[in-house]
Amino acid sequence: MKYYLIYNFNIFSLNYSKSFIEVIMAFINWNDSLSVNVEKFDSQHQKLIDIVNQLFDAMSEGKGNEVLNDVFEGLLNYTKTHFASEEEAMHQYNYPKMEFHKIEHNDLTKQAIELHENLNRDRLLLVFQF
């Protein structure tokens, strides 16, 4: 199991073993396992990963504070665009779990907005797992 830590606008991957914690800079690479096999959505997912990687790159150069707010806002805006696109397709093809998926989108959007607000209040310390 991998855990990721954002601290002081630097991102670390934490690999646990019996006697030590190894800290390595982390980033996200697109690969076929992330594909949903719909070109439009794969392209949008790749764009979202690119935005996140911009932040990772800046953090690895010690410039996270300079770009964090702009990158986060870009990520929020593009996520809203992506969710709207997915929901339009679900509606068009009468996706049976559309309402459930829309609730997930709304929950993720609310969480992202809350994170952004905490960032602006200097109260952001995240640990997340992939």
Domain membership of residue 14 (yes or no) is: no
Query: What span, in angstroms and rounded, lies between the C-alpha atoms of 36 and 32?
Result: 9
Angle at 26 between CA 15 and CA 9, to 5 degrees: 105
pLDDT digits (tens, 9 = 90+) for 72-122: 888 889 988 999 999 999 999 999 999 999 999 998 888 888 877 777 776
Burial 7-16 (b: 16+ CB within 10 A, else e): eebebbebee
Helix (H) or strand (E) holding 23: strand 21-25
Write the CB contacts of 36 (distance below 8 Å, at least 6 apart in sequence): 42, 45
Domain membership of residue 59 (yes or no) is: yes
For 105, the domain range is: 28-123
Higher-pLDDT residue of 102 and 126 is 102
Write the CB contacts of 49 (distance below 8 Å, at least 6 apart in sequence): 28, 29, 30, 34
Query: What span, in angstroms and rounded, lies between the C-alpha atoms of 20 and 46?
Result: 34
Residues of the chain with pLDDT > 90: what percent?
A: 26
Domain membership of residue 66 (yes or no) is: yes
Specify the CATH number for the domain of residue 59.
Answer: 1.20.120.50
Query: What span, in angstroms and rounded, lies between the C-alpha atoms of 77 and 2?
Result: 28
93's tokens: 């093809």
Domain membership of residue 7 (yes or no) is: no
Domain membership of residue 129 (yes or no) is: no
Domain membership of residue 21 (yes or no) is: no
Average model confidence (pLDDT) for the chain?
A: 75
Domain membership of residue 128 (yes or no) is: no
Number of domains in the chain: 1
